[in-house]
Structure 1
Amino acid sequence: MQTKTLLALALMAMPLMASAQKEPKTSDDFGVWTDISAEKKLSKKASVDLEAEYRTADNLKQNSRWSIGIGGEYKLTKWLKAGVGYTFLYNHVDKYTYHDEDPNKANYGKVNKQASYWGPRHRFNVDLTGGVSLGDWKVDLRERWQYTYRPEKTIAQRYDFDDEDWDSKQKTYSGKGKNVLRSRLQVSYDKKGLDVEPYANVELYNSWSVEKVRYTVGLDWTFIKGQKLGIYYRYQDNSKDDDDNDNRNMHILGLSYKVKF
């Protein structure tokens, strides 16, 4: 019942998807990320989990992503665990083309066309997490290999900023796969008998070079045995990320609910 209530509240809070055509922005963005997850222990060492996530962007005016994923973890030793997972993502994408034919023309560098559409992605990951306890403090390092495949996508038309109208021409974007190594270092305070656990982490996205960095501070609250609510603030540096066209840095407010069986 509690899960259904939280899901209903999340749905009610979703902003309507913006549909107006607009030129790309350069200032930092803001969005809200929400997720609900359930974890089931299979043994003292093994567990499986199911997670659903919803994200907004463009200062809450744009639904940006839906996803659902399944994963599993196995505790190899007291301080080391391994994980594997698959996630289906449904992303909103804005792609822009620019006038770059002749530097001497007045329109050089200006936006030519915009494609705005939704498309699926398939993501697979394998990770190792090592952790140590220092009194009430925990330090964890997670190394995650992530592969994401974006299938070929054909759209009916793009918006032409020169004509201020749709061009009525089909455009096909080829399928694309990408490998990323994600390295996350986290410090948390986990005092016995305390219902809240504050934490902070830094995560690097590396694809032959560092493309994205996340800085996060948050708090998990165990309000009922086996159930947690979480809140966090995240700053995401996208300045070197070449995924699609939107590489604005982002301020994120995150909300989460997790139940363990």
Structure 2
Amino acid sequence: MLGVIGGSGLYKIEGLKLIDEVELNTPWGKPSDKYIITEYKGNKIIFLPRHGRGHLYPPHLINYRANIWGFRKLEVNKILSVSAVGGINENYKPGDFVISYQFLDFTKTRASTFFEGIYTKEDDYIKDDLVSQYLKDKRVVHIDVSDPFCPELRNSLENSLKKLGFSYHKNGVYVATEGPRLETAAEIKALKTIGADIVGMTLVPEIVLARELGMHFASVSVVTNLAAGIKGEKLTSEEVIEMMERKTEEIKKLILDFSENLPTNFKCDCQSSLEGAAI
């Protein structure tokens, strides 16, 4: 089943049938909002507003563990992350879509694992898998994130973007910063030298937590503006909101086409991410 985490209005799509809204609790607290269960051409898609409806939670205070665990409880095994980013690579223009294939983590205060040794919490939701076993045994886990994104989902995203004729870049390096402040021009200059293409505040720890649960995870971002110091102009939230509103219909079309063309047999190693990772 596919989960989509992003803006609060993404589920309002013509042809998408609203089935239910589910409120969950988890050992890590409450998710950002209710999970919106929908159906499109016989396939279920579950949406979660990352910041809550009304944009209640800043990036550094989102309950990422609760959000991702809630998807697990709803039997989601594939996640599409949709986000707004600033452009660092000079070839990336406002309005372009970006499929990330690597990330750089410059966050500071966020819990980024479910497995905390003797401090690990358990849930009454138990599956016959390594996740439940390692939580029960209070194991410490070090997952491999050499190739963090699901190659199968990345390929499906590219096929959909190509089919729809949207401008995109397929090998983006996403740098995650703590926020909620924007970056300085010096920070962006430094991040560019180490290979960053886009900058945002939400991908990490979402992707790390999803990988710990053996989920297939892909990220598509919209470049809403150029990052600090590139144009030499003041950055505002208004330009981010305006660009995302302009791109909303394209994002919705992308989600529907992507959901129709997901692979049935995954040949990646996402589901085995926990194998050999526990101490």
TM over 0.5: no
Q: 1 or 2, which has the higher strand percentage?
A: 1
Larger radius of gyration: 1
TM, length-normalised to structure 2: 0.28
Q: Which has the higher contact order (CA 8 A, sep 6+)?
A: 2
Q: 1 or 2, which has the higher helix percentage?
A: 2
TM, length-normalised to structure 1: 0.29
